[in-house]
Structure 1
Amino acid sequence: MKRLYFVEPIVGVYAFASFMLYPLVQQYVYRRLWLEITNSSYPASDDITSPCAANSSNNTGQQEKVQKAASLFSTYSELFSLIPSLVVTLLLVAYSDQRGRKITIIMPLIGSLIYSVSFLTVSFFELNVYLLIAANFASSLFGGIGTMLGGCFSYVADLCDNSKQKTLRMAVIDMVIGIMAGIAAISTGYFLIAAGFNWPFFTSAMLQLLNLLYAIFFLEETKVVDRSETVACCQALQKLASGIVNLFAGGNRKTSWMLVLMMIMFFSFSFSNTGGLSVITLYELNKPLCWSEILIGYGSAASTAVFITSFVGVYMFSRCLSNITIIYIGILSVVIGLVMTAFAKTTLMMFLVRIPSMFAIMPFPVLRSMMSKVVSKSEQGALFACVAFIENLTSTVASASFSSIYAATVMWYPGFVFLLGAGLCIIPISLLCILKRFYPANYNDPEELLSENGTETSDDAPVA
């Protein structure tokens, strides 16, 4: 059977199944906690009317209690999955340099399947909602979205020699995520109203299963692996550690500092962006917005549309602007969007927030490509292991931190977390200024750094 070199279908199906699940998770937990705290059923609403209309004024205090409990639930769920997900991500993606990229894709798909089936089980049998925290922990033992994307980006880096092609294909992966997530977000609200929670959970589980079968039986491996080689466990771990250390200690001083600064920039920007997005659904469920399932679906779709506009931005801006400028535009887009969200009190304003945020994803593929271009092909797995580790750490810490802050501030000003996220963007902007000031030439021809390091420029070196 002829196999394929396309990870985009895996990313697309994974994004559709996951983004069908994510809004449902918060809404399901929110409704279960509403039932437990208020001893009343969740207010019913029409397709697009606000459920707040069904709330009496004396329920305001109970609604705030539910908001706080739901945000704390998200915090506990993220924290319980933090350590195993980080460890598995770092080991698997770095290990892919020795044993192939497919393992970094297959393992997270198994975890996602476990996660979906767990939600279906809890929903169908109406089990204790806090069992979902245990399900999140179990799925994290197989890695997470950071693990899979780290494997996919390493896979793409193996296939692409041209640096511009590498940037665009990485941006394509982000765009595929946006398109499929947007379709899932729009359909989720209607699916929920028509069939309840069980059928969407079941659909997500089936899609994850099909994705897993494609990855196992149809996806071709990019790394040629000698299966006759046997490496002891301690030796394998030693190789993993040395590969990661060589990223920062093996090159010249300029390359190492560039890599460190770019990773810190990646972490700080992702923390602000991910943290702000993590409480959007709760913010939309709260007064004065009080969005219904349909509006939440349209809002999620509008948010994921930034993946498409960001891809277009990367494609167009890369023809006439430097990488530094593209990243500046992306960070500024996030800042304006978060500030507008903090003051959005109407449905129209909440949708208009998505307009200035249209380039919010651009810094991610550009930074990944910039980091990939300053290391050799034999170090791509170790690099993206570190990047995936940072993504997993950032996603978990940001979600837990912003959920906790939202729980503490929802009583007096729900929009505070978005202003905080916008303010934290000063960190990546400052780091970007440092990189531009001290290493302006290296961004135009990063391959020169590899030759300065003594890195081979034949088969293992990236080709401009």
Structure 2
Amino acid sequence: MSLEAVCPWKGSLPRLQVRTWIEPVVASTQLAASLYDAGLLLVVKASFGVPTFSNHSAAAVSPSPRGAQEDSQQKAISNFYIIYNLVMGLTPLLSAYSLGCLSDRYHRKISICVALFGFLLSRLGLLLKVLLDWPVQVLYGAAALNGLCGGFSSYWSGVMALGSLGSSEGRRSVRLILIDLMLGLAGFCGSIASGHLFQQTAGHSSQGLVLTACSVSCATFALLYSLFVLKVPESVAKPSKTLAAVDALPGMVGTYRSLDPDQPDLQSVEGSLPSPEKAQPKKTIIALLFVGAIIYDLAVVGTVDIMPLFVLRAPLSWNQVQVGYGMAAGYTIFITSFLGVLIFSRCFRDTTMIIIGMVSFGSGALLLAFVKKTYMFYIARTVMLFALIPITTIRSALSKLVKGSSYGKLFVTLQLSLALTGVVTSTVFNEIYQLTLEKFVGSCFAISSSLSFLAIIPIGLVAYKQTSWSKFGGVEEK
């Protein structure tokens, strides 16, 4: 078996210079983000009067696992995240789309570099809060600065645009999931280290100083690398081997130029082209993919936003090191999802891979709703091993329906849609979590599971429409 068969992205590497690789930016940015996320949770918890975790602190905080003190602290942290997520989700609406348009028109790095500058400002905000003991509300301002610079919506749409430009259509799903793999590996390392780094100043007035300083350093490297080292790759997208060009009107004799050296240069086929009325409805396909992505993202956000609160309280009552390990377990999904796409892309269509991922996440979220012990938590996370496949594969499928010059607007529109719906979901799920603390603490996970299975419906419609069109037009989806 050839190396290219094992690693499909290898074929395009000789044409690309190392400086066109976006992976160093993704890895350093995610390392900074994972350190920041863990530090934010632990700093906020300490700010609301909870002592720094230790092996015996859980018992010292509250004699009753379900005491009023613990519940009030959970609600205070939840309320903080409601406002914080609103700021993080809504402020990018003011700038992200404009940055995407500027990237399409002038330079692909605009959205990435401006967003990374905002990331650096938000990390500096957390560092100053820890160093100068500012009130926790300062972090709302840091989040606003991040959002006004485009936030994650602008950054990730820029990354996806560069990744799509540097890959052919046949290898695009693997190329984009490879970028996600780099993100997951960096997040895994950052999460594993976060609890230990936070402990470096435990008991001192500046808790988390080492952790936040490392986050700022990684964010600074990412910004400098994207400004002075990163280059925009030339598009390597190629037409399909079977249909390189069509020089015919519907219903007339068509001439297909084949790129396959084993086939004749010209093949005349009569009446094999679909009429314009029956051609693949790209707008409908794009709309259905958007709907599927949004519903699935609602499920993911509903689980991810509640999970940190869930593990801090009884029955799990994790300490700071366990929190880091739990976050790291979430990042292993990036590795398993990458392997899944690498294998599934050889025998399944994009829509099939998306459905596999949705079933994986929905099943894991349902198990998570009934977790009582730490080992049960990790079993539920293991079931989610393909949870990253849907959104990444949807981006790949969308990129095949538009021209490369529109990638910036397409990806930023999708990302803003996900961000906006994510804000609503975060607020609603935090409220549900507070209302069900004493009744059924896993209710949010059960709702997320239902949403994940619901998202399969629009993707199934996409599969049906594409199959019908493929049979009619004689073109098989790759």
Residues 394-413 of structure 1: pairs in structure 2 closer than 5 A: 394-413=421-440
Contact in 2 for aligned 1:156/1:169 (Cα 8 Å): yes
CA shift at 1:159, angstroms?
Answer: 2.0
The equivalent residue for 2:373 is 346
The equivalent residue for 2:444 is 417
In 1, the alpha carbon distance for the partners of 2:135 and 2:391 equals: 38
Residues 8-407 of structure 1: pairs in structure 2 closer than 5 A: 8-33=23-48, 35=49, 42=51, 44-46=53-55, 51-52=58-59, 55-57=62-64, 60-160=67-167, 162-195=168-201, 196-222=207-233, 254-407=281-434
CA shift at 1:163, angstroms?
Answer: 1.2
In 2, the alpha carbon distance for the partners of 1:210 and 1:345 equals: 41
Aligned residues: 415
Percent identity for Structure 1 against Structure 2: 26
Amino acid at match of 1:66: Q
CA shift at 1:43, angstroms?
Answer: 6.0
Contact in 2 for aligned 1:78/1:397 (Cα 8 Å): no
Contact in 2 for aligned 1:68/1:410 (Cα 8 Å): no
Amino acid at match of 1:166: R
Contact in 1 for aligned 2:88/2:151 (Cα 8 Å): no
SS of aligned partner of 1:374:
coil
SS of aligned partner of 1:190:
helix
Unpaired runs of at least 5, structure 1: 36-40, 225-250, 451-463
CA shift at 1:147, angstroms?
Answer: 1.3
CA shift at 1:200, angstroms?
Answer: 0.8
CA shift at 1:57, angstroms?
Answer: 2.2
Distance 1:143 1:444, change over 3 A: farther
Distance 1:418 1:92, change over 3 A: same
In 2, the alpha carbon distance for the partners of 1:445 and 1:315 equals: 29
SS of aligned partner of 1:104:
helix
Contact in 1 for aligned 2:121/2:142 (Cα 8 Å): yes
Structure having greater relative contact order (Cα 8 Å, sep ≥ 6): 1
Distance 1:121 1:442, change over 3 A: farther
Q: Which has the larger radius of gyration?
A: 2
In 2, the alpha carbon distance for the partners of 1:76 and 1:216 equals: 32
Distance 1:294 1:432, change over 3 A: same
Deviates more, 1:398-407 or 1:265-274: 398-407
Amino acid at match of 1:292: N
Contact in 2 for aligned 1:144/1:392 (Cα 8 Å): no
In 1, the alpha carbon distance for the partners of 2:319 and 2:113 equals: 36
Task: Please list the CA deviations of residues 400-437 of structure 1 after superposition, one character each: whole Å capped at 9, or x if unmatched.
Answer: 33222212222322211101111112331111222222
CA shift at 1:271, angstroms?
Answer: 1.3
Amino acid at match of 2:51: Y
Task: Please list the CA deviations of residues 96-137 of structure 1 after superposition, one character each: whole Å capped at 9, or x if unmatched.
Answer: 110111011101111111101111111111111112112211
In 2, the alpha carbon distance for the partners of 1:88 and 1:443 equals: 39
CA shift at 1:186, angstroms?
Answer: 0.6
Deviates more, 1:432-441 or 1:321-330: 432-441
2:19 corresponds to 1:4: yes
In 1, the alpha carbon distance for the partners of 2:330 and 2:371 equals: 15
In 2, the alpha carbon distance for the partners of 1:150 and 1:3 equals: 21
More helix by share: 1
CA shift at 1:316, angstroms?
Answer: 0.2
TM-score, normalised by the number of residues in structure 1: 0.84
CA shift at 1:54, angstroms?
Answer: 5.1
In 1, the alpha carbon distance for the partners of 2:181 and 2:471 equals: 25
In 1, the alpha carbon distance for the partners of 2:216 and 2:474 equals: 43
Task: Please list the CA deviations of residues 298-341 of structure 1 after superposition, one character each: whole Å capped at 9, or x if unmatched.
Answer: 11111110011000000001111222221111001111111111
Contact in 2 for aligned 1:52/1:287 (Cα 8 Å): no
Distance 1:59 1:307, change over 3 A: closer
RMSD: 2.5
Distance 1:218 1:264, change over 3 A: same
SS of aligned partner of 2:386:
coil
Contact in 1 for aligned 2:53/2:320 (Cα 8 Å): no
Contact in 1 for aligned 2:78/2:430 (Cα 8 Å): yes
SS of aligned partner of 1:439:
helix
Distance 1:313 1:52, change over 3 A: farther
The equivalent residue for 2:252 is none
